[in-house]
C-alpha cells in the first residue's frame, strides 16, 4: 500500500513482482481487509500512472485480483501461474485432475483467456522487457512521452515500403514488417502476440 501511495504522489509507474500463494486461512477476515486497501489504490491509480504486473511464480487466491486490475500483466513460462483456487481445490470440489499449467499457466493466459499480455522464457528476460515497456510509456497522465535520439538510416526502408504493400488490396502482406520499418529504430513492443493473431497491438515511436 505504501509503495502504491508513493507512486501516486510522485506520478511514477509502478511494477508489481508477484510470487505468492495467497493469504493464509488462519489470518481470516483481516487478510481480506488488507486486499481491499490494495484494490482501492489500484482503482485510484488507474488512468493516472502505468501499472504493470509481472507474475514470476505462483499467484493464487486473493493475490490474483490486484494484477487483474493493472494495465499490463506479463508471465514467465513454466514457472508462473495465476488462479483463484489451485489444482488441489479443483480436485476436491469437482473431482477433476488438472495441473497448475493447464489451470492458470502462461500458455492459458496468453492464448485463451487473454488475461496476460505476454510471456517470457525466464525472469531476467521478463525484467528486461519490462524495462523496454516502461521506456515507451509516459510516467503519468500528465507527463510527456519519452523521446530518444534516432540514428537509423531511413532511406533503404523508405524505398522498400514501395514494394512491401501490394497494389492488389486482396493480396496479403506482413503488417509486422511494415510496422518495424515505420517505427523509429525498428523498435516495436508487441502485446498479446499470441491472442487474436489477426490483430497486431503494441507500442512504438514515430517521430
**What is the spatial distance between Cα 52 and Cα 75, in angstroms, rounded to a whole number?**
11
For the domain that residue 34 is a member of, what is the CATH number? 3.90.226.10
Please indicate, yes or no, whether residues 34 and 111 belong to a single structural domain of this protein.
yes
For range 7-21, the mean pLDDT: 93
Residue 188 lies in a domain: yes
Element (DSSP H or E) covering residue 160: helix 155-164
Residue 144 lies in a domain: no
**What is the spatial distance between Cα 204 and Cα 6, in angstroms, rounded to a whole number?**
28
Domain enclosing residue 170, as ranges: 155-204
pLDDT at 110: 96
Please indicate, yes or no, whether residues 44 and 127 belong to a single structural domain of this protein.
yes
Which residue shows C-alpha cell 515507451? 136
Please indicate, yes or no, whether residues 26 and 123 belong to a single structural domain of this protein.
yes
Please indicate, yes or no, whether residues 119 and 61 belong to a single structural domain of this protein.
yes
pLDDT at 23: 64
Number of domains in the chain: 2
pLDDT at 25: 62
Query: pLDDT tens digits for 124-160?
Result: 999 999 999 999 999 999 999 888 887 776 676 678 8
DSSP string spanning 99-131? -HHHHHBHHHHHHTS---SEEESSHHHHHHHHH
Q: What is the pTM of this model?
A: 0.87
Q: Give the domain-ending residue among 136, 171, 191.
A: 136
**What is the spatial distance between Cα 134 and Cα 167, in angstroms, rounded to a whole number?**
38
Amino acid at each position: 500500500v505504501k509503495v502504491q501511495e508513493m507512486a501516486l504522489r510522485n506520478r511514477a509507474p509502478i511494477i508489481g513482482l508477484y510470487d505468492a500463494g495467497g493469504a493464509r486461512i488462519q489470518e481470516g477476515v483481516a487478510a481480506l481487509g488488507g486486499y481491499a486497501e490494495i484494490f482501492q489504490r489500484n482503482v485510484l491509480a488507474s488512468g493516472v500512472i502505468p501499472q504493470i504486473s509481472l507474475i514470476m511464480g505462483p499467484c493464487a487466491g486473493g493475490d490474483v485480483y490486484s494484477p487483474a486490475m493493472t494495465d499490463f500483466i506479463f508471465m514467465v513460462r513454466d514457472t508462473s501461474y495465476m488462479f483463484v483456487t489451485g489444482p488441489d481445490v479443483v480436485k476436491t470440489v469437482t473431482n477433476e485432475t488438472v495441473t497448475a499449467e493447464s489451470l492458470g499457466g502462461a500458455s492459458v493466459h496468453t492464448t485463451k483467456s487473454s488475461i496476460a499480455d505476454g510471456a517470457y522464457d525466464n525472469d531476467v528476460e521478463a525484467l528486461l522487457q519490462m524495462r523496454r515497456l516502461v521506456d515507451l510509456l509516459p510516467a503519468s497522465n500528465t507527463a510527456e512521452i519519452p523521446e530518444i535520439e534516432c540514428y537509423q538510416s531511413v532511406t533503404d526502408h523508405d524505398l522498400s515500403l514501395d514494394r512491401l504493400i501490394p497494389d492488389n488490396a486482396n493480396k496479403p502482406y506482413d503488417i509486422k514488417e511494415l510496422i518495424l520499418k515505420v517505427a523509429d529504430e525498428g523498435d516495436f513492443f508487441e502485446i498479446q502476440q499470441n491472442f487474436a493473431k489477426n490483430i497486431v497491438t503494441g507500442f512504438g515511436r514515430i517521430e
